[in-house]
Homo-oligomer: A and B are copies of this chain.
Amino acid sequence: ELPVNIKFLVEGEEEISSPHLPEFVRDNASFLKADGGVWEFGGSGPTGIQEAWLGLKGILYVQLEVQLLSHDAHSANACVLPSAAYTLVHALESLKDKNGQILIPGFYDDARGLSAKELDMANKVDLSEEVIKEHYGIARFINGMSGMEVKQAYYGGPTCNICGLDSGWQGNGSKTVLPAKASAKIDFRLVEAMDPEDILKKLRTHLDERGFSDVKIAWYEGYPAAKTPIDHPFMQLIVKANRRAYGHDPVVHITSPGSGPLYLFKDKVPMVSIGCGDFFSRVHSPNESILLENYQKTIKRTVYLIDEMSHW
C-alpha cells in the first residue's frame, strides 16, 4: 500500500491552450488540493544534468489576417491596387523593432520583473550558452546577449514571435501575382502578471491606431504565467529524490521559457516540472526520443519522491 495519496490529471489539449481545463479546475476544486505536484515536462539539460522548473510563461496566440481584394490579381496591377501582403508586413513591423523591443503601447506595463532572490538564483545557473548556440548553428543570441542578459530574457522576457507567414505563390520559380490575402501566426510569451486578454486589447488598439484596421485578429487563445515560489519546501523534496535517483542535484530554473496552464493550479498545488526527456529529445519534431537510462531513473525518482513525501 502506498504511503501517500496520488492523483493523476491527464490533459490532452495543452497544445491548443487547454480550452476546457479552466472549467474542470473550477468544478473539481477539492480533487485538486494537494501538498505537492509533479508537472511532467522536461528532463535533462544540454550537459546531461536533470532540470526542474518552477514556473511556466503565459501565452497569447493570435492569427492575423488581411484580405484587400476579392481575388488575386495579376501583379501588373500592383501599381494601383492595395497589397494584403505588404499591409501585413507593415503591421508586423509595427509590433516589434529590429532589436526585439515590442512596440505595442502598454505591452510591458504589467510585466513583473524578476525578484532579487530570483536574479540571485538565475545567476547561479549555467544556461550552457555555447551548447545552445552550437545546437542551433548560431554565432550569437539576439543583440549579442550573454550571461545575465540571456538569463533575464530566458526567465523574465516576454516575446512577440512569428510562428508562420502565408501569402501568394510559394512554389518554385516566379509567379507574378498580387495576392488578395496574407496571414501571420504570432505567439506572445507572457511573464507573470501580464493578462492575455489585456494584451489582446492593446494589440487591437495598436493596430487600429496605426491604421491597420484591415488587419483582422481572426482567432486567438491564451492564458497567463505562473510560478511556484523558489523557496517552497516541496522543491527540497524534489532535490532529495533527484539526488537519490541520479546522484546529482538538479538545476532549478525560476521558470521555463515555455508555456502551460500552471496558473490554474496556483495557490492549490505547489507544482514543479520534471520529466524524462533530454535536451536533444527533438520535442515536437520527427524522431522524438528519450534515453532509456533517463526513463528508468525517472521511475526511481518518482518512487523516491513518494518516499520523501511520506515522511515530510
Contacts and interface: CB of A to CB of B under 8 A. Distances in A.
Interface of A: 15-17, 57, 59, 61, 68-83, 85-86, 88-90, 92-93, 96, 98, 132, 135-138, 141-142, 145, 150, 153-154, 157, 159, 161-170, 173-179, 182-183, 185, 187, 189, 211, 221, 256-259, 283-285
Given A161-B178, A163-B177, A174-B163, A154 B93 contact: no
A139 to B, nearest CB: 10
B163 A259 contact: no
A176 to B, nearest CB: 5
B168 A174 contact: no
Given A93-B89, A189-B76, A179 B154 contact: no
A175 B163 contact: yes
13 contacts: A16-B173, A70-B135, A78-B187, A79-B154, A80-B154, A85-B165, A89-B93, A93-B93, A163-B178, A164-B167, A164-B175, A168-B185, A176-B259
Given A78-B161, A166-B166, 17 more contacts: A16-B174, A70-B136, A70-B137, A71-B285, A73-B136, A74-B283, A75-B163, A78-B189, A80-B141, A86-B92, A89-B92, A89-B93, A163-B168, A165-B167, A168-B185, A174-B187, A176-B259
A182 B163 CA distance: 10
Given A68-B138, A98-B211, A138-B68, A76 B164 contact: no
A161 B76 CA distance: 9
Q: Is chain A's interface secondary structure helix, strand, loop, or mixed overall?
A: mixed
Contact of A137 (B59, B69, B154): B69
Nearest to A220: B174
Nearest to A68: B138
Contacts of A170: 164-166, 183, 185
Q: Nearest 4 A-B pairs (CB), nearest first?
A: A70-B137, A76-B258, A78-B161, A85-B162
A174 B211 contact: no
A254 to B, nearest CB: 13
Contacts of A132: 80
Contacts of A163: 75, 168-169, 174-179
Given A165-B165, A175-B185, A145 B80 contact: yes
Contacts of A70: 135-137
Contacts of A17: 174
A213 to B, nearest CB: 13
B154 A162 contact: no
A90 B92 CA distance: 9
Contacts of A221: 174
Nearest to A62: B174
Contacts of A142: 79-82
B75 A187 contact: yes
A211 B144 CA distance: 14
Contacts of A137: 69-70
B258 A74 contact: yes
